[in-house]
């Protein structure tokens, strides 16, 4: 039985499409890409199981409005009446005898699980000469950047990144005009182990929280355009689909531009230090402690 997935922009794909796997930079044969797409990227899967019946798989907490709407239009176009609806994290399935009941149930689930994001994403650029020295880890990275004459050498940074910065870093390079993750530190755990293992090769905006990723991409792009290091005080509420929650973070992030020794192209290293003192909520502090272990 063919499974069609609706992406977060409402486009339909065959779930087995090699083109889709290529676009998602998913080359691991045994990786359960369908579960990941539904649970983390907000896709909706539709499988026709009888002439007028279909199985729908979606995650209410992460499903995008575009993917839900596309799936419902797809069902209507196929003349589907009876549906079986399942969620990746639940064993029990729900059956509905009419499309109208299916639409009502999905709308209720999406509305119930919608949570507005507060506060908005904010990033305030700070003067490097004034604030870089206020944090030893970021100051060390800035000093290494100056000493390196902007030539990236992973060997030179091998001790600094894991130790002083707890491996909270991302290396980004332009690939086909898109800023793409080429390395990610083991300390960058906010989106879970599965995403971390498969992040290399993904455009930087394609994080499980797409809005946050798109916002971060814009800041890296400004560094790429100016070729100047940038230090920011960041206040962000980030969605974590693998935990079914959101976490409020305050952190300092330094992005420095390099020329890669291996191929002579541009690359951008971003490293961050979480400000534990500024976390307002006990639940957020506990989550941050887990991320920093």
10-residue stretch averages of pLDDT, the chain, 293 residues long: 85 84 61 75 90 91 86 91 84 86 88 61 85 71 88 77 78 93 88 88 90 94 95 90 80 93 88 66 46 40
Q: What angle do CA 172, 284, 181 make, to 5 degrees?
A: 10
Q: Which residue has the tokens 């209410």?
A: 60
Q: Which residue has the tokens 């499980």?
A: 208
Strand segments (E) across 20-134: 44-50, 53-57, 82-86, 94-96, 122-126
Closest CA to 44 of 70, 82, 79: 70
239 strand-pairing partners: 246
> pLDDT at position 93, please?
86
> pLDDT at position 232, please?
93
Q: Does domain 122-291 have CATH number 3.20.20.150?
A: no
255 strand-pairing partners: 230, 270
Q: How far apart are CA 119 and CA 244, in angstroms?
A: 18
> pLDDT at position 259, please?
93
* Domain residue limits, the chain: 3-113, 122-291
Q: Is pTM beyond 0.85 here?
A: no
> pLDDT at position 292, please?
39
């Amino acid at each position: 039985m063919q499974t069609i997935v609706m992406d977060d922009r409402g486009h339909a794909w065959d779930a087995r499409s090699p083109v889709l796997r290529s676009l998602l930079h998913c080359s691991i044969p045994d990786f359960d890409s369908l579960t990941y797409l539904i649970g983390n990227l907000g896709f909706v899967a539709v499988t026709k199981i009888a002439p007028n019946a279909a199985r729908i798989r979606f995650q209410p907490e992460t499903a995008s409005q575009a993917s839900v709407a596309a799936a419902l239009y797809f069902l209507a176009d196929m003349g589907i009446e009876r549906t079986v609806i399942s969620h990746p994290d639940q064993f029990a399935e729900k059956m509905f005898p009419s499309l109208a009941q299916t639409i009502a149930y999905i709308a209720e689930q999406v509305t119930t699980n919608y949570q507005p994001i507060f506060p908005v994403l904010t990033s305030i650029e700070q003067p490097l000469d004034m604030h870089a020295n206020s944090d030893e880890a970021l100051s060390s990275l800035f000093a290494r950047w100056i000493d390196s004459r902007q030539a990236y050498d992973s060997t030179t940074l091998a001790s600094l990144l894991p130790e002083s910065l707890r491996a909270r870093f991302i290396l980004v390079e332009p690939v086909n005009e898109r800023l793409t993750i080429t390395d990610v530190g083991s300390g960058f755990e906010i989106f879970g182990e599965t995403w971390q293992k498969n992040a290399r090769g993904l455009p930087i905006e394609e994080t499980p929280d797409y809005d946050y990723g798109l916002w971060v991409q814009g800041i890296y792009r400004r560094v790429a355009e100016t070729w100047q290091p940038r230090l920011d005080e960041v206040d962000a509420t980030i969605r974590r689909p693998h935990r079914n929650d959101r976490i409020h973070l305050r952190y300092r992030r330094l992005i420095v531009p390099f020329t890669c020794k291996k191929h002579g192209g541009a690359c951008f290293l971003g490293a961050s230090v979480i400000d534990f003192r500024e976390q307002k909520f006990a639940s957020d502090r506990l989550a941050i402690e887990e991320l920093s272990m």
